Structures are given as C-alpha cells and as structure tokens.
Amino acid sequence: MSDSVILRSVKKFGEDNHGFESDRSCNNDKKSKLQNEKKGGSSQVGFFQLFRFSSKTDIGLMFVGSFCACLHGVAYPGVLIIFGTMTDVFIDYDTELQELQIPGKACVNNTIVWANSSLNQNVTNGTRCGFLDIESEMVNFASYYAGIAVAVLITGYFQICFWVIAAARQIQKMRKFYFRSIMRMEIGWFDCNSVGELNTRFSDDINKINDAIADQMAIFIQRMTTSICGFLLGFYQGWKLSLVIISVSPLIGIGAAIIGLSVSKFTDYELKAYAKAGSVADEVISSIRTVAAFGGEKREVERYEKNLVFAQRWGIRKGIVMGFFTGFMWCLIFLCYALAFWYGSKLVLDDGEYTAGTLVQIFLSVIVGALNLGNASSCLEAFAAGRAAATSIFETIDRKPLIDCMSEDGYKLDRIKGEIEFHNVTFHYPSRPEVKILSNLSMVVKSGEMTALVGSSGAGKSTALQLIQRFYDPSEGMVTLDGHDIRSLNIQWLRAQIGIVEQEPVLFSTTIAENIRYGRKDATMEDIVRAAKEANAYSFIMDLPQQFDTLVGEGGGQMSGGQKQRIAIARALVRNPKILLLDMATSALDNESEAMVQEALSKIQHGHTIISVAHRLSTVRAADIIIGFEHGTAVERGTHEELLERKGVYFTLMTLQSQGDQDFNEKDIKGKCLFHYA
C-alpha cells in the first residue's frame, strides 16, 4: 500500500473539517465555559439529591431502617403509657390498703364496707377491693418493659445497621464516579482546581455526605417519631395540661438546639486549629534538618504553640456556651415541672379530670417530645453540611469535560508517519486567560526527524508539547498529525502513539517493572526488559538485589536522578511510540548521568519522530532541525550551523551561556560549547 492513510473508526467528532473561524468560536466557548465555572456560583443540592446513587437495594435498606427507626421512636411514648398506668395501679393499691387499715372497715364481696352498717349503705358507699394482685400486676408491667427493651434492641440495631450499610454502598459508588470524573477532566480543569482542594473533597466533603445519609438520618427519624408521638400522646390524654407545658417547651427545644449547634460549630473551629497546629508539626518534623541548620527550633515551637492558643480559645468558648445553655435548659425544665405539677394537681384534685397516672403521662410525654425535637435539630446541621459538600462533588461528577480522555469518539489511523504541524496556533492557559502563551505559531515537525525547540523561559516550548498530547486545545488554529486535526482523532489512540520523558520524572511507589509497565498495561516481561535495555537502564537494574522487583520508594526516592530518568525513558519506550517528546529530559542531571541518558536517547533516535526541549548543547547538536522560539512563536528554523550563521535567537542564547569564556568565538561555539538553552 502507498503512503496514503486509511482511517479506522467511523465515530464522528463534531464537524469533519475544522476551519480556523470555527476553531476560534469553538475554543472561545470552551474558554468562557471554564472561566464561568471558576467564577460562577453553585446551586444548592436538594436534600433528596444526596441519595442519587442509591439502588433499589439501597432504597429497600433505607425503608426498612426507617421503619425500625419509627418503631424505636414509638417505644419511649409506649413506656410512658405503661408508666402512667402503673402509677394509677400503685395509687389504687395504696388507697385500698389505707382504707382497709381504718378500724371498722372490711372487704366484703370485693367491696370495702363498715362492719356495722346496713347492706344498702355498704353497696352505696363502699369502695371496690380485692381485685388488685399487686405482684401479678408488677410481673405484667415488668414483662411489658422487657418486651419493649427487646424490641428497642432489635429495632435500634437494624435502624443504624441498614442506614449505615445503604450509605456505605452509595458512598462507595459516589467515590468511584467522582474519581472517574476527575480522571476524565482535561488538564485545564486541574489548572483551576488545586490538588489540596480535590484531596479535601475526597476526604472531608464525601465524609460529610456520608454523615448526612448514614446514622444521622436514622437518629433523626427516631427522634422526630418520639417527638411527634410524645406530643400526640400528651394532647390525647389531656389537652389543657399539654398546652400549659408546651408554652415552655419551645424554650427547652431552643436551648437543646443551641447546645447542639454551638458545640458542633465550636468543635469544628477547635479541630481546625488543632489541624493547623498538626500541619505545622508535620512540616517541622519532616524538615527537621533544615530547621536545625538555621537554628529555627525555638521559632517553630512558638509557631506551634500559637496555633494551640487558638484551639484553646475555641475550647473555652465552647465550654462557656455549653455551660450557660445547659444550665438555662435545665432551669426551664424544672420550672416547667413546677408549673405542670401545680396546674396538674388542680386538674386532678379540684376538677377530677385526670388521674395521677394521666398527669405523669401528659407531663413526661410533652417534655420528651420537646427534648427530642431539640435534639433532632442537631441532625439538621449534618444534613446542611452534607448538602453543601455535595454541591462541589456533584458538579464535578455532572461536568462534561472539554477534552474527554476516556471518550471512544474520533478516528484511529491505520498507519501513522508522525508528521506534526502547527497551523497559526494561538493559546491561553485556562487559569490565565489574559496571558497569551502562543501567538500564531506555525511550524512543521518532519516524520522520523529529531527536532529541538529552543528559546528563553516562557517562550512556549513546553506548551507546544502539551498541545501535541492534546492536554489543551488551541484557542485559535489547529495542530495536525499526518494532515489530520488531532481533535478529530480518538484521544486515547493519539496518546498511545506518544511517549513522554519529562525533566522531573514521576515514579510511582511500586517496583521498577510496574513503573515501566505503566507505559503499556499489557506489556510482558520481555517487553519491559527490551525497553530497559533500549533506555540503557538494564545494567543498573540487574545490579540491584531485587532487580526488576526492586521498590523505587516514594516518588522514586530510592533511585538516583539518572536512574529515575532512564526508568522514565524505558516507560516511554515500552509502548513503542511513533512520537517521542523529551521535555528537558537531561537538564537536572549531572554530567555522568546525562551521558548515560544521552546514550540511551541516541539508541532510539532512528525510527521515531522526536521533539526535544533541552538545556544541553549535545542534544541540540544531534537534532536534525532546531526551531527557535520567541514570545510564543517560531522565529527561526535550521541546523545548528545554519542558526549560528544567522545570529538570531539561537546564537544569542549560545552567547549568553558562554559569557565568561575569554576565547569565545563562533568557531568555539560550533565545536566546544557544552550547553544550550531552551
């Protein structure tokens, strides 16, 4: 087959042809969308939206848990009913005993009568007796209490268990969706969202959602059920006394709510202050050598103690508020006792409307209802915190990325030559839309050649590499691969054709083999060994005790700079990329390590399209083409000798680097210089 390119995958990506005008409007829309996301406010998440990840099983668990919570909530008013009845039984029994102790009275035919009175008088004025078997009654009441205790044990267990299980299932699903959504986001989104903020969402925010939909929900249902049933029981037994008690109950409920909310708020501030002190301690201990070298021990102790003072202040305020409102609430409760029993005694003694047991039932029912209503309000804070935390989480999950790295859309080329061209590309970073990084950049990178990009810092060289990987889309213009706009290509396929070696290679805390396999997940051990040999890393790996199974440590801390760089090169090569990007791959290495890395790069130069941004002249001299960057555009192009003759950007950089060399001249530059700028 000829050099023609065959397209595979018929999934369409937008328009077939991307003109410059449509590109400009499209990318302006993207840029404005990112800016609006960064600036705009967020709509509050509704409470029931917190359960958006619940399945039918979760709904069933929550329903059963809610039913058990309601039964648990009814138990307390049920106890009060039994307690009121038991009180009446005790009073009746005591009344019977007292009457029978009066001389001349006796129990005849279940009626208390005067022994010397007539039958008619006995029937008319006697009191019923002999029906109360107090021991049997107490056994019955004890069995009722025991039954309620068993019911509370079962319902209390299942209400918490089912709600927590349902919440755990939903939170697990939420974490999966959230992390997957983050992994789908374009790099520009990460520029506008700090890593610390994302970590906080993963830990604190999702935990707050969990608190809102787990045991707090079950406790809220239980307390509200107890409160409602308490008030209903009080009004059913006696609405007059209930109204009198309720007149004070709102103050009791408010007091309980204020205690719950204030304790939660002050505790939060206190924990934040302790967390800040902890971060200071963590920072100091992890950098103890630097602290000791500069004699900063005393200063760091003072800084730590300063944060402890803030925590202490919040703790004192919490104690003051708790003490005042606790005393206030119990003062109201006892005043309510006084009012209720004073008025209740009138209803019992003067009007005869209530029995003593009924009085106790009404009083305790309304008090319990008010207290549980106040305690339930503390759960509302957890719900509010969960809703607030869910706003940012759900926004991320629902957001459609501007560049979806997991999308299956786009073409896949059956054959790739590796020719890259920039067509009047203009670019701004989403986090800095007012700063133009690339300005009408046009350049061609030939297939199979090594092209070096040079220029002063901030000229846009590394940005050009990121556009090739489609980390970002141009604000204007387009980047093409073998004549195809890379936006029309499948992004996973595109990145699979590209290997990248950066200035500071990132190694994961696992074995050398797994770090190399990260370049291609289906790589065999033979592929890994081959890539290591091509990267000039095989020798030092085999000298290690565990060889390819050696752990590289946190961030590759167990490896030297040169070793890390060669492992990174092997990781790039294991995927057998057609295009290899070297972003200052040797700038942070010493001469010996650089020589080893350069030897590895020289092995792989043939058969790959290589684009190098480097600081070492040896890399530039080996390039087929050198492109000089200035102010975000390509201003010159040629070989090492041609650009020196032209005396442009490249020549100026060489001159600046070589200042101090008394014998500097153009001939020396051509033959002896050891460094170059990019």
User: Which residue has better confidence, 468 or 44?
Assistant: 468
Average pLDDT score over the chain: 78
* pLDDT the model gives residue 8: 37
* pLDDT the model gives residue 169: 92
Buried b (16+ CB within 10 A) or exposed e, 121-160: ebeeebeebeebeeeebeeebeebeeebeebbeebbebbb
Instruction: Using a pLDDT cut of 90, give the percent of the chain over it.
Output: 8
Contact 390, 170 (CB under 8 A): no
User: Quick one: pLDDT band at residue 21, thresholds 50, 70, 90?
Assistant: very low
Tokens of 435: 């700063």
User: Quick one: pLDDT band at residue 14, thresholds 50, 70, 90?
Assistant: very low
User: Quick one: pLDDT band at residue 597, thresholds 50, 70, 90?
Assistant: low
> What is the chain's length?
678
Strand stretches in 315-401, DSSP E:
none
* pLDDT the model gives residue 2: 39
At residue 166, does pLDDT exceed 90?
A: yes
Identify the DSSP state of 551.
Answer: B
What is the identity of the amino acid at 628?
A: G
* pLDDT the model gives residue 17: 40
CA distance 528 to 512: 10
User: Quick one: pLDDT band at residue 16, thresholds 50, 70, 90?
Assistant: very low
CA distance 380 to 385: 9
At residue 417, does pLDDT exceed 70?
A: yes
**Residue 203: exposure state from Cβ atoms within 10 A (0-12, 13-18, ≥19):** exposed
User: Quick one: pLDDT band at residue 59, thresholds 50, 70, 90?
Assistant: very high
* Torsions phi, psi for 304 (to 5 deg): -65, -45
At residue 111, does pLDDT exceed 70?
A: no
* pLDDT the model gives residue 660: 42
User: Quick one: pLDDT band at residue 68, thresholds 50, 70, 90?
Assistant: very high
Instruction: Using a pLDDT cut of 70, give the percent of the chain over it.
Output: 79
Please list, in sequence order, all residues whose beta carbon lies within 8 angstroms of the beta carbon of residue 453, skipping any fewer than 6 positions away.
461, 464, 465, 611, 612, 613, 626, 627, 629, 678
User: Quick one: pLDDT band at residue 165, thresholds 50, 70, 90?
Assistant: very high
At residue 323, does pLDDT exceed 70?
A: yes
pLDDT digits (tens, 9 = 90+) for 286-304: 778 787 887 878 888 888 8
* pLDDT the model gives residue 304: 84
Lowest mean pLDDT of 65-69, 104-108, 309-313, 669-673, name the range.
669-673
Which residue is it, tokens 């058990």? 68
* pLDDT the model gives residue 649: 81
* pLDDT the model gives residue 387: 81
* pLDDT the model gives residue 126: 53
DSSP codes joined into one string, 409-463: -SBEESS----EEEEEEEEEETTEEEEEEEEEEEEEE-TT-EEEEEESTTSSHHH
* pLDDT the model gives residue 594: 67
User: Which residue has better confidence, 152 or 113?
Assistant: 152
Nearest to 520 by CA among 570, 564, 589: 570
User: Quick one: pLDDT band at residue 101, thresholds 50, 70, 90?
Assistant: low
At residue 316, does pLDDT exceed 70?
A: yes
Instruction: Give me the mean pLDDT over the 539-551 stretch.
Output: 86
User: Which residue has better confidence, 471 or 91?
Assistant: 471
User: Quick one: pLDDT band at residue 19, thresholds 50, 70, 90?
Assistant: very low
At residue 518, does pLDDT exceed 90?
A: no
* Torsions phi, psi for 589 (to 5 deg): -105, 155
User: Which residue has better confidence, 677 or 234?
Assistant: 234
Please list, in sequence order, all residues whose beta carbon lies within 8 angstroms of the beta carbon of residue 116, skipping any fewer than 6 positions away.
104
User: CA of 256: how far to CAs of 261, 325, 329, in Å?
Assistant: 9, 8, 7
User: Quick one: pLDDT band at residue 151, thresholds 50, 70, 90?
Assistant: very high
* pLDDT the model gives residue 24: 46
Helix, strand, or coil (residue 510): coil
At residue 452, does pLDDT exceed 80?
A: yes
Helix, strand, or coil (residue 172): helix
Instruction: Give me the mean pLDDT over the 524-540 stretch.
Output: 85
Biggest CA pair distance of the chain: 146
pLDDT digits (tens, 9 = 90+) for 635-645: 888 888 888 88
* pLDDT the model gives residue 13: 38
* pLDDT the model gives residue 559: 81
